[in-house]
Amino acid sequence: MDISDEVTTQGSTVEDWTRALAQSTGSPGGGAGTGLMLAIAASLTSMVAGYTEAEEHERGELDRIRARARSLRKDALELADEDATASRAFGAAFRLEPGPEREAAISRASVDAAKASAVLGKRAMDAINDLAWLAANGNPSLVADVVVAFGALRATVAGARTNVSFDLASLTSGGSTMEQIREEHPALWAMVGDLNDAIERIDALTTEIDHHAAPTDAV
């Protein structure tokens, strides 16, 4: 059996999983990689929170941030595996013989893949506030880790945005126009715009602290 059919983010080594990602199979693919990036962002968020000493009135919020990050790390890995499953269905649909059955399969797989990416994107957007709190209040010695976390979170959001958009556009292979797709899937269509806005917010937050994380740039 091909290694890409066996690996999961939770049951394989990093070596095995990335080797499967490197193969020309599409599963795991970019969507699953997006989930892995979200897990990295969540892990770094948890780490920075753990190294941060907060004032008494902020300890409750800090504890909640760390708890959310720990939970998100686990959920992100599960979502990565779910995306890999959706990718297999997507690829299988396109390998069918031309005809109504193929068109219907592509339509179902495209929508399912877009939904999987949208979930990843939504979870990533929900994580921005916690990382922003740490950027402002976290241990200043770990500001570089915060910037790396923002980078991983940005990769997640950008990946989700691109995948949702691409999967929706795949519906045109069945004869739908872009206008029809927007009318039939308004929530997914709007998610693309929300993710674009989230990318801009992450970039702005990163810019605010980047001079602390990379001080050599100012020399």
Q: Which residues contact 70 (CB under 8 A, 6 or more apart)?
A: 42, 46
Q: Distance between CA 31 and CA 8 in Å, rounded?
A: 13
Share of the chain above pLDDT 70, in %: 97
Average pLDDT over residues 65-91: 89
**140-161 pLDDT tens trace:** 999 999 999 999 999 999 999 9
Q: Distance between CA 101 and CA 143 in Å, rounded?
A: 53
φ, ψ for residue 78, nearest 5 deg: -65, -40
**98-155 pLDDT tens trace:** 888 888 888 888 898 899 999 999 999 999 999 999 999 999 999 999 999 999 999 9
Task: Report the residue count for the chain.
Answer: 219
Amino acid at 30: G
User: Would the pLDDT of 171 be above 50?
Assistant: yes
Q: Which residues contact 36 (CB under 8 A, 6 or more apart)?
A: 9, 17, 76, 77, 80
pLDDT of residue 109: 85
Average pLDDT over residues 32-53: 96
Q: Which residues contact 138 (CB under 8 A, 6 or more apart)?
A: 48, 49, 51, 52, 146
Give the tokens for residue 103: 């068109």
For residue 28, say if its preceding peptide bond is cis, omega within 30 degrees of 0.
yes
Strand, coil or helix: 99: coil
pLDDT of residue 42: 98
pLDDT of residue 1: 36
CB atoms near residue 99 (< 10 Å): 8
Kindly report the average pLDDT of the chain as a whole number: 91
**174-216 pLDDT tens trace:** 788 999 999 999 999 999 999 999 999 999 999 999 999 988 9
C-alpha distances in Å from residue 215, one per residue of 42, 145, 203: 25, 14, 18
Give yes or no for a contact between 156 and 120, defined as CB atoms under 8 angstroms apart: yes
